[in-house]
Structure formats: structure tokens, C-alpha cells
Amino acid sequence: MFAAIKEQHKGVDVCINNAGLAHPEPLINGKTSGWRNMMDVNILGLCICTREAYQSMKERNVDDGHIININSICGHCVIPHADTHFYSATKYAVTALTEGLRQELRAENKHIRATSISPTLVETEFTLRLYSNNPDIAAYALEAIDISSAVTYVLSAPPHVQIGDIQLRGTEEVS
């Protein structure tokens, strides 16, 4: 993927890590394969894309790039829904990885910014699949445009402003 980006566009200036995966695999009886799959997508995939985006910026002397991780509110609190506890652990990792990236970029004396955008449920196939037994959940879900608006906001911040994390919840959401 990054080779094609380099060939077609010279490289990456902005990377938005938006891949995310959840399986209903509780901690006390979940399947290892489901946990591994979530780790591979939610953590390892994000780290690989982050590394490759940074390397692309570094080799082209891009010092004003941005890496945005689409996280989850589950990266900040554990909701009382057993099927999402392992997923929450992967998203807590994204929270830590975003801050770790910010620290590493600072240590490298780079002005590349790192941001985590943490929405609650978003009306997507992901949410509908995970909560198929609760069709009323969509009433509290954000829309995809809400997330893209947050991305636009982050990217429009002045170069001297580091937005570390944005948490997005619906105004009608209970918790």
C-alpha cells in the first residue's frame, strides 16, 4: 500500500488510521482467534501504518505531517458489556500508542503531530453487526460525518497546536 502511495503521490503527509475490528469475545470464554484478530487489526495494523507513514514523511523531510488514530470511547472507559471488554483493551492500547508516538516525535525534534479521535458508537456496519441484538442502539450513534468533521478540525489547527485527543459523544447519550 505505501509503495503504491509513494509511486502515485510521492508519499504520505497525513495518515488516518481508521481500521478497527471487534468480535463478541468475552474475557472468560472468548476465542483466542478472535482476540488475535482484534490485536492484529486494532494494534499491530495501526503500528505498521504509523511506522510507514512516519518513514515516508522522514525521507521527504516533511516536518508538518499528521498521524490521526481513529480510536474509540472504549479506549478511555470500559463499558459494562462483556462482549466488548477485549476490544476495549485494544483501544486502550491505541490511546497509549498515540501518546507514545507524540513523545517519540518530540524526542526526534519533529513537528509531526499525533492525535487520537475517540468517538462513541458510530452508525456503521461495525456498530450494527456488534449490536445486532439491540436495534435501538442506533438512536445514540454518531454519524460518519461527525468523525470526518473532527478530522477536519484537527487538521485545521495551527501548526503550533497539538490536539492529543478528542472524545465524541452524542448529546443524548446516557453514559
What are the residue numbers of the active site? 87
Q: How many residues comprise the chain?
A: 175
Listed in order, strand segments (DSSP E) in the chain are 14-17, 66-70, 113-119, 165-168
Q: Are 75 and 92 in contact (CB under 8 A)?
A: yes
Alpha-carbon dihedral of residues 87, 144, 116, 56, nearest 10 degrees? 110
Helix axes 46-59, 2-9, angle to 10 degrees: 30
Q: Any bridge partners for residue 14, and if so which?
A: 66
Candidates 98, 148, 97; CA nearest to 122 is 148
Beta strands 14-17 and 113-119 are unpaired
Instruction: Give the Cα separation of 68 and 152 in Å (integer).
Output: 11
